[in-house]
Amino acid sequence: MNSYIWSIRNKIGKQKFIVPGARIIIENDKGEFLFITRKDNGRIGLPAGSLEDNETIEDCIKREVKEETRLKLIELVTIGISSNPKNETVTYPNGDVVQYFTVEFYSKKYRGELKENDQDEISSAKFYSKDKIEMLPENERRTFESLEFFRKKNQINLG
């Protein structure tokens, strides 16, 4: 793994640091949402990832979705920014600690055939009904709160 995060992690070890990233809710025509299953902890999650060197936040989420699912995003809507350390601090199974500063996106427009693509990080990618939302980690469930806020107020959620 030769990522920006990996290069920093090699220098600082497991200590907490702030990581800019992106997360997305992708909805299909049936009103189902795309969830991935992570290999490191076996939990479901939303497609997401960290910003790489010389990359925009939009390019970041497009890359992550393509890497994880082979889908190509056609349209992105920014629905929120999540930066509360209480919600966005994550300790991974290997002991690495990060505090995410996450731009949250939504899309119903994509192309391609859904297929797990990132064999190292995810074991599945599937569309499920909204009842699976409760199985998401808390910081990812809050992305659905941002979507609801955006739909009601037509404003980005900064909470």
For the chain, what are the domain ranges?
A: 4-153
Q: What is the pLDDT of residues 69-82, one digit of tens each?
A: 999 999 999 999 99
Cβ pair 25, 103 in contact under 8 A: no
Please check the confidence at residue 1 and state whether its pLDDT lies above 60.
no
Q: What is the pLDDT of residues 10-46, one digit of tens each?
A: 999 999 999 999 999 999 999 999 999 988 778 899 9
DSSP per position, 41-101 = T--EE-SEEEPPTT--HHHHHHHHHHHHH--EE---EEEEEE--HHHHEEE-TTS-EEEEE
Q: What is the pLDDT of residues 104-152, one digit of tens each?
A: 999 999 999 998 666 677 888 999 999 999 999 999 999 999 999 999 9
The structure's pTM equals 0.90
| Span 4-153 CATH architecture | Alpha-Beta Complex (3.90)
